[in-house]
Amino acid sequence: MDETILQEVFDIVVIGAGPGGSAAARVAAQKGLKVLLLDQKRRIGLPVQCGELVSQWIYPYLHPGSRSIVQPIDSLILHFPDGILYPMKSPGFMLDRSIFDQEMVLKALQAGARLLLGIKAIGRTPDGIKVRWRSKEGIVRSKVVIGADGVNSTVRGWSTHPILKSLSALQYEIYLPEPQSHGEIFFHPDYEGGYAWFFPKGKVANVGIGVIHPKTSLLKDLLHSFLGQLRGLKKFKQIEILFKTGGSIPCEPHPLPAFENILLVGDAAGHCHPVTGAGILNAIQGGEIAGRIAAEAVLRQDLEYLNHYEREWEEGLGNSLLYGVAKRERLEKNWNRSGMDFQELIRNCWTGFKEYHFDRRKGLL
C-alpha cells in the first residue's frame, strides 16, 4: 500500500467497497470531497457471496454498456410443498456480482475517490480509523467514517447495537443444461424463516437456501435434498456443482445507523429486506444518501448534520423495511405453530403476494 496516505487527512473514509460503499464514495467525491474507499479484499467482488438476482430498478445504477448483466429475468415462480405454483411478474436481471461490484468501484474512482485494497479497518481513533495491511498497522485520518463493511461489520461493532439478527445461507452454482428466463422460489416448513431459490444465470444457475437459527446447522443437508428435488423436477441427468458459497443476510435494520462521526450503510446497517434478504439495491440507495449527507456535514463543518441520514433513509426505504420487520416477526412466531396454514402464512408475509400489503391498508402494521 501507498503509505503516504497515512500522512493525509481525508474528508470521508468509506470502509468496504461493495455496492453500498462504492455508491457512498461516488456521491461524496462528486461533491468535491476528499474521499478514500478501502477494502480488506485484494480483488473487488471476489469471492461472490450472492444469489445475484436484482430487480429492474437496478437499471439506472448500471454502468453504460455494463458487462455485469448475464441475463434478464422476466418472472418468478413460487412453489409450495403441495405442488401449488404461483407465477409472478418480476422483471430483473441476473448479474455477475464481481463485475458489477468492480464497475461500481470504477464509477467512484471516476468521480475522484481514491481506492486502497488489502487494507482492513480494525479500530477507531479520535481522528480516524486504525488499519492493518500485511503485518503493519497505521491510522487513516478522516473527518467522517462510512461503515459499508457488510453483514459482519467491524464498524457496527463500535455502535451500541453491534449484533443484528440474520439468516444463514448456503448456495451452489450448478451447470444448467437448458436456458431459463424465470427465477424460482421454494417454500417448505423445513426451511425455517427462509426459503430456497433457483436463479438461472446463462449456462449456470445459483441454487441456495437461507434459514434462521437453529436450522442453520442443517443447511448442507437441506440444500442437498433440495438438489435431489430439483433433479426430479427439472429432469436433470446429473447435477454438477461448479462453485460453493454462502454467508449471512441481515434481517433487521440497525436502530441507530448514524452515531458520532459514523454512518452505517447496506448490510452493515441491516438494510436488506427482512423477509426476502434482497440487499443490493438498498445498499446502493442507502449508500447514495449516506455519501450525500456525509459530504454536506463536512462542507457545513457540522457533524450534527449526520443525523439527517436516519431521517432521509427512513423516508426513502425505512418504512418498507420496518413493515418487513413486522412481517418477519409474524413469520417466525407462527412458523411452528400447530394447525398453522403454511401457505396462508407465506402469502401474508412474503412480499409480492397481494396479502402482504393487507395489514398496511388496514392500518394494522
Ligand X SMILES: Cc1cc2nc3c(=O)[nH]c(=O)nc-3n(C[C@H](O)[C@H](O)[C@H](O)COP(=O)(O)OP(=O)(O)OC[C@H]3O[C@@H](n4cnc5c(N)ncnc54)[C@H](O)[C@@H]3O)c2cc1C
Under the rule (CB under 6 A), what is the footprint of ligand X? 15-21, 38-41, 49-54, 120-121, 148-150, 154, 169, 171, 208, 246-247, 249, 266-268, 272, 277-280, 283
Rounded to a whole number of angstroms, the minimum distance from the CB of residue 241 to ligand X is 15
For residue 165 the three cell numbers come to: 439478527
Backbone angles phi, psi at 266, to 5 degrees: 65, -140
Name 258's Cβ contacts closer than 8 Å, sequence gap at least 6.
264, 306, 307, 309, 310
Q: From the CB of 81, what's the least distance to ligand X, in Å? A: 22
CB of 300 to ligand X, least distance (A): 26
CA dihedral 286, 304, 26, 311 (to 10 degrees): 20
* Shortest Å, Cβ 182 to ligand X: 14
Q: CB of 30: closest distance to ligand X in angstroms?
A: 18
Pick 108 or 295: Cβ nearer ligand X:
108
Q: Looking at beta carbons only, is 213 or 333 nearer to ligand X?
A: 213
Minimum separation from the CB atom of position 192 to ligand X (A):
16
Is 69 or 278 the residue whose CB approaches ligand X more closely?
Answer: 278
Least distance between ligand X and beta carbon 116 (Å): 9
Cβ–Cβ under 8 Å, residues 69 and 91: no
Burial of 19 (0-12, 13-18, 19+ CB in 10 A): buried
Beta-bridge partner residues of 259: 262
**Strand 136-147, strand 128-133: pairing:** antiparallel
161: Cα within 13 Å, side-chain hemisphere? 14
Nearer to ligand X, 56 or 300 (CB): 56
Nearer to ligand X, 19 or 188 (CB): 19
Closer to ligand X by Cβ: residue 164 or 238: 164
3-state secondary structure string, 192-261? CCCEEEEEEECCEEEEEEEECCCHHHHHHHHHHHHHHHHHHHHCCCCCCEEEEEEEEEECCCCCCCEECC
Going by C-alpha positions, the residue among 246, 214, 284 that lies closest to residue 20 is 284
The smaller minimum CB distance to ligand X, of residues 84 and 260, is found at 260
Pairing of strands 136-147, 120-125: unpaired
